[in-house]
Structures are given as C-alpha cells and as structure tokens.
C-alpha cells in the first residue's frame, strides 16, 4: 500500500458557531487518520452559491440537519475514492463533481463534496510533512491585512442596522501580530463609546463578533469608529471597509434600496457612497449593490477610487467572474470555498481574478467552526487580505492564532501586506 493512498474517508455531523449542524470529513492514508476539515456555512448567501444539502426533517434541528450529506460522503464519495492518490487534488475534485452530476452540486451536496475536498488537501500536506499553505504554494509568503468587522448589522444580528459589516483595516501595522494588537486596542475604546451611549446591552455581538448596537444608517457607525481610532492613537494606521450585503435591503419589486427609512435608486445610492468616501478613508466596499447589477458594479469600479468586492455577485465562480471581467464590474472577488464547493474550483477562480488584475479577499462565513483552514488558504494565495471576524470567540480566534503561527514559521521570508493589501507585492 502506497503511503499516498487513500484507505478510508469518513464524515460526521458537527455543529458550527451558531449551533447549526455542518459536515466534518476525515481522510485516512495507509490506515491512519491524516486529514480532517470542517465545512463553514453562511447566513447571508447569494442565490448562485453551490447547494448546501440539508435533511429537511423538522423533527431534528428544525430541518437543518446534514445527515444526508454525511451519508453521501460515507456511502457514495468515500468508497469511490478509496485507493486514489491523495495528492491528486484536481482529479479527486473533478471525480466528485462528476459523481454529483448537477450544475450546483445539489445531488450530493456542496457541503459533502467540500468537506472531502478540503480534508484531502490537508491530508496531502500532512503526509508530505509541510503546512497546507506551503503545500498549495511553495512561494506563499504574504501575511494578510485582517478586515476587523467591529459593528454588525443585516442578517448577522437582530438590530435595525441594514448594512452588514463596518470594518477596521490596520494597514499601518508592521506585522500580523501588530495588526491584532492595534485593532484589539481600538475595539476596547469602541466598546467604551458604545456603552457610554447605548448602555452595556449595546455591546452584544453579532454572528461574526462585531457589536450589534442600535445604530442606524451609514453615517453613525463611521462616527463611532473614527472616534475610537482617534482616541486609541491609530488615526494614521487605520482605514475602513464595509460589507454592505445590499441584496438584503434591496426591494426587488420597486427596484430601490431601502436604507434607514429612505429609498434610493442605484444612482442615488452611488452618490451616497461617494459622499461617505469623501468623509472617511474607506478603501473597500463589498456587495454595494444587488447580485445581478453588473452594470452598477462597473460604474462603482470606474467612479470610486477603492476596492469594489463582488461576493454575491461572483460567488467564487469563474463563470460569474468572467462575466464581471467582461463588463468591468467590480475589481476584486471575495473568496469563499463553500460558495463553489471544491478547493480546485475556488483556486481556479482566484487565479482567473489575478490574471485579470482583480484582487482576492479571502473570507470566513458567519457559521464558522474552529477549523482555521482559511488562514492557510489566504497565505497560499498571497492575497493580502482576510475577513475573519473580531478575535473574541473561538471560531474567530482560531484563524487569527493560525496566522500568528504562520507568521512565525515564515520568519524573515514573510511580508505583511499592509497598504498594498489589494495588490500585494
């Protein structure tokens, strides 16, 4: 038996940070457990994402169980892949896509397929005695700027703030460790400001660790953030970003965006974004318009001097990204492996983005686990930016702590992306 031969694949149902079920997959090599991976899940999802297979049985987890996906790993995918070389990632991913046979992985479930895909990659790295980021890319060396989601709204919370994420970016830090230090200090100041105005209940947090305050609109959050940054003494080192998740506050019937009691057509909303960008150093906007508005994303890319990120617009899908490139829509892609369902397809999307001078922002999902795999992926891609939540809960701190380990491993060979986060050298 070859030391690279898959001898067993096994999955189980585990829970994510919200207590919802998800898939965990194990890969065994030569009779030993070598690779394991968890599948994250999203609450705010694009309609073009790969299909997450749920049981639909209301008698357990309100229908959100994933035992069908687990069964597909254990009784369909696993037996087929026994005997395969674990290092043949693309062949394995393509084989699972063929087994499924649907356009969006709805037969076997993207959660089943992705769990195996990621566990195979981790097993291959482990059996070769290297870290996953190095296995994927021996030239991996860029430590990303963390996008610290400090104020939560939208589907991530139960407040009235329509915009999903308001974000600090510590571009002036000199290392990832320094970036964590800076943003943690700023967040403590922000906490005090929130308590001062809204009381202690204002420091309740959303799915990704940001404060779920009673703030409203687009201006008030930036007022709080800029005050916190100034008081912490980091005004020269911090810039801002937003995940607007505009799908969730776009009224499709009337073709307007409903924000803080006002209705905006596309042109009016773009003008609002311009005014906010003139007032604050905003360098990145994710999903500022709804997921089918390629023309509007193209207008933003032309008229705003910043990174415009397509998440629901592109869903880590080369075909959607190709359409965006042809139309000049946005200038960066959000990278979420579970949107497409295999590691190979996600890497293909990132490569296509780079070839067309688009940035790549690696991202968590709101339903995360303690698995820090995206930390290895962001370094493997040299992408320069990662969105993984405030470091206040285990499913978020695991990603930050893994990046601290990688920074130590890389030593002098590692480079913190800093102000070049969108196009790191």
Active site residues: 208, 336
Write the secondary structure of 42-111 as one string of H (helix), E (strand) and C (coil).
CCCCCCCCCCCCCCCCCCCHHHCCCHHHHHHHHHHHHHHHCCCECCCHHHHHHHHHHHHCCCCCCCCCHH
CB neighbour list of residue 130: distance below 8 Å, 6 or more residues apart: none
Q: For the chain, first and last CA: distance in Å? A: 43
Q: CA–CA distance from 101 to each of 95, 112, 114, 234, 320 (Å)? A: 10, 14, 15, 52, 20
DSSP secondary structure string, 106-138?
TTT-HHHHHHHHHHHHHHHHHHTTS-HHHHH-T
| Residue whose C-alpha is closest to residue 75's, from 24, 125, 112 | 112
DSSP secondary structure string, 215-249?
--TTHHHHHHHHHHHHHHT-TTT-EEEEE--GGGG
Give the residue carrying structure tokens 């309740």: 204
Per the CB < 8 A criterion, the answer to whether 84 and 5 are in contact is: yes
| Tokens standing for residue 137 | 């890319």
Could you tell me how far CA 307 lies from the centroid of its own chain? 16
Count of CB atoms situated within 10 Å of the CB of 409: 13
Question: Residue 170 phi/psi, 5° resolution?
Answer: -80, 70
| Residue whose C-alpha is closest to residue 363's, from 350, 344, 345 | 350
């Amino acid at each position: 038996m070859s030391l690279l031969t898959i001898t067993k694949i096994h999955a189980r149902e585990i829970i994510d940070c919200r207590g919802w079920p998800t898939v965990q997959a194990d890969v065994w090599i030569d009779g030993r457990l070598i690779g394991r991976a968890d599948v994250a899940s999203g609450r705010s999802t694009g309609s073009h994402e790969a299909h997450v297979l749920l049981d639909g049985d209301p008698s357990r987890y309100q229908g959100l169980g994933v035992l069908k996906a687990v069964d597909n790993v254990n009784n369909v995918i696993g037996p087929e892949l026994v005997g395969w070389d674990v290092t043949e990632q693309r062949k394995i991913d393509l084989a699972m896509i063929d087994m499924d046979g649907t356009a969006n992985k709805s037969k076997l479930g993207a959660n089943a397929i992705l769990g195996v895909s990621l566990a195979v990659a981790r097993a291959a790295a482990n059996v070769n005695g290297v870290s996953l980021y190095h296995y994927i890319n021996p030239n991996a060396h860029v430590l990303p700027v963390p996008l610290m989601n400090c104020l939560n709204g939208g589907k991530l919370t139960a407040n009235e703030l329509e915009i999903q994420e308001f974000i600090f970016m510590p571009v002036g830090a000199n290392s990832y460790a320094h970036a964590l230090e800076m943003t943690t200090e700023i967040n403590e100041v922000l906490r005090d400001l929130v308590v001062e105005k809204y009381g202690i209940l204002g420091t309740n947090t959303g799915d990704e660790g940001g404060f779920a305050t009673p703030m409203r609109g687009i201006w008030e959050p930036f007022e709080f953030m800029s005050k916190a940054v100034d008081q912490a003494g980091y005004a020269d080192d911090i810039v801002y970003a937003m995940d607007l998740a505009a799908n969730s506050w776009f009224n499709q019937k009337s073709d307007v965006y409903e924000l803080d009691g006002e209705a905006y057509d596309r042109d009016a909303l773009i003008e609002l974004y311009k005014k906010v960008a003139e007032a604050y150093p905003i360098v990145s906007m994710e999903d500022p318009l709804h997921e089918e508005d390629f023309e509007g994303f193209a207008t933003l890319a032309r008229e705003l001097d910043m990174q415009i990120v397509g998440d629901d617009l592109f869903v880590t899908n080369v075909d959607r990204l190709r359409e965006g490139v042809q139309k000049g829509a946005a200038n960066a892609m959000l990278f979420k492996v579970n949107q497409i369902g295999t590691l190979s397809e996600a890497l293909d999307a990132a490569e296509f983005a780079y070839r067309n001078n688009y940035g790549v922002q690696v991202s968590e999902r709101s339903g995360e686990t303690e698995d820090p795999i995206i930390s290895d992926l962001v370094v493997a891609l040299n992408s320069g930016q990662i969105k993984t939540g405030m470091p206040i809960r285990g499913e978020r701190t695991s990603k930050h702590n893994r990046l601290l380990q990688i920074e130590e491993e890389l030593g002098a060979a590692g480079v913190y992306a800093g102000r070049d986060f969108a196009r790191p050298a």
